[in-house]
Amino acid sequence: MEDFSNKTVIVTGGGRGVGRAVGMAFAAAGANVMLGARTISYGEEVKSEIVASGGNAECFAADIANHEDCRALVDAAVKAFGGVDIIVHAAADIPHGGLGNVDDDRLEAGFASIAKAAWWLLDAARPYFAKARDGGRFIAIGSVNGTVNVVPNMTAYGMAKAALDAFIRAAAGDVVGEGITVNAINPGLIASDRAKEILGDQGLADYGATVPVGRAGTPDDIAHACLFLASAKSDYITGTSIKMDGGSTVAPSPDRSNILQERLKFQQGKTS
């Protein structure tokens, strides 16, 4: 495992799901971890787990759909640990729904928390990244939806993730001369807390059985990729999005799509 001792990583969405797994993985590898969480109690729980395991972590209440919160999160990490070497932007306010079924507030929240937040976080951290040992690393958690395929009834989400993917490619060129790399990981379905809420345990199992590798992805799968992209070994990679979907987009399945669509419709019915 790469040694991240004396390096600082900010993880947005650090209280649950992929963000939690990423924070735990970096802490296990020796990093100082600043967990950004909109619901601070979730962040505190992950911080306690890290500290109990001998790691070093702090958490900060931040709604990254807000520009000032993004800047404050970076400032908090600098104040706590002296700098910032890595950001993993895992948070997303996911707007479920197709055209005509997502109001302006939900559309803006999704776009701001996913794409705008990437801009704000990288911009705020840029001076510290330029001083980082082995170079600064910005890693965003994107999606195959909106980049390599389209999921019905997820139009707003896919649009925001596509914008994020465009940002990764362009911003990488903006900062490449400063020793900063900018990359994304684009997962398929990940068995996160949110996915379990939508699909349920049986739905996840049914969906996973349709994935070519035989299972849904896990938050730990994404964390492992983040460790690589944050390492010194990845310094020749920038402006890239790594697809991690177990082969789903190269082997489409009607059953897989039907499982997801039925559960999305059920969730929309509950909230309408």
∠ at Cα 80 (124, 132), nearest 5°?
55
Give me 194's structure tokens: 């949110």
- Alpha-carbon torsion, ordered 221, 222, 226, 228, to 10 deg: 30
Q: Where are the alpha helices (DSSP H) in the chain?
A: 17-28, 40-52, 67-81, 104-111, 117-129, 155-175, 193-210, 219-230, 254-271
Confirm whether 157 is a catalytic residue: yes
Q: Which residues pair with 185 in a beta bridge?
A: 141, 242
- Of 42, 128, 157, 207, the catalytic one is 157
Given the structure tokens 């993993």, which residue do they identify? 88
Give me 240's structure tokens: 């890239």
Alpha-carbon gap, residue 102 to 79, rounded angstroms:
39
**Amino acid of residue 245:** D
Given the structure tokens 């951290």, which residue do they identify? 125
Alpha-carbon gap, residue 271 to 239, rounded angstroms:
38
Alpha-carbon gap, residue 211 to 77, rounded angstroms:
38
> Strands 180-187 and 136-141, how do they pair?
parallel
Using CA atoms, how far residue 229 sits from 100, 140, 240, in Å, is 38, 10, 10
Q: Which sequence positions are flagged as catalytic?
A: 157
